[in-house]
């Protein structure tokens, strides 16, 4: 992440780096800017390997579904709802980069600065047991 991003996103990445809970950070367009090491452990790939991705790319790569395995459109993901300006929470299932299916809980909320909404942050954890 460079200095061209709003300061709120830079600070959010700094916070995410130091959390022991999985965190996924996107900009106002839904582009993945960062996920921390605990998220990498659940996703089966570290951010340094994956890099930034558009929303359609990261949603296709990690295949979010309902807990019953039904496809979950990007627009219905908690992170997408947060990008729309409201916090959201949901259980869901993802497939990691290594092919492992994980049941997770996701809570996402919008990030805003002086100029308006700058992105969203999702915190998630493994429910697989």
2 found inside a domain: no
Q: Which domain, by its residues, includes 24? A: 7-112+120-126
Q: Is residue 37 part of a domain?
A: yes
Q: What is the pTM of this model?
A: 0.90
Q: Is residue 27 part of a domain?
A: yes
pLDDT in tens, 4-47: 888 999 999 999 999 999 999 999 999 999 999 999 999 999 99
Is residue 99 included in any domain, yes or no?
yes
Count of structural domains within the chain: 1
Q: Specify whether the CB–CB gap between 6 and 25 falls below 8 A.
A: no
48 is a domain residue: yes
pLDDT at 50: 95
Q: What CATH number does the domain containing 24 carry?
A: 3.30.450.20
**Residues 114 and 12 sit within 8 Å (Cβ to Cβ):** no
């Amino acid at each position: 992440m460079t200095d061209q991003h709003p300061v709120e996103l830079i600070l959010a990445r700094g916070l995410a780096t130091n959390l022991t809970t999985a965190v996924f950070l996107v900009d106002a367009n839904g582009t993945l800017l960062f996920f921390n090491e605990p998220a990498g452990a659940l996703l089966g790939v570290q951010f340094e390997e994956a890099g930034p991705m558009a929303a359609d790319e990261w949603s296709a790569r990690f295949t979010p579904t309902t807990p019953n395995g039904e496809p979950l459109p990007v627009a219905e993901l908690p992170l997408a709802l947060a990008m729309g300006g409201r916090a959201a929470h949901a259980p869901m299932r993802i497939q990691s980069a290594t092919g492992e299916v994980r049941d997770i809980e996701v809570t996402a909320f919008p990030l805003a600065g002086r100029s308006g909404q700058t992105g969203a942050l999702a915190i998630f954890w493994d429910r697989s047991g």
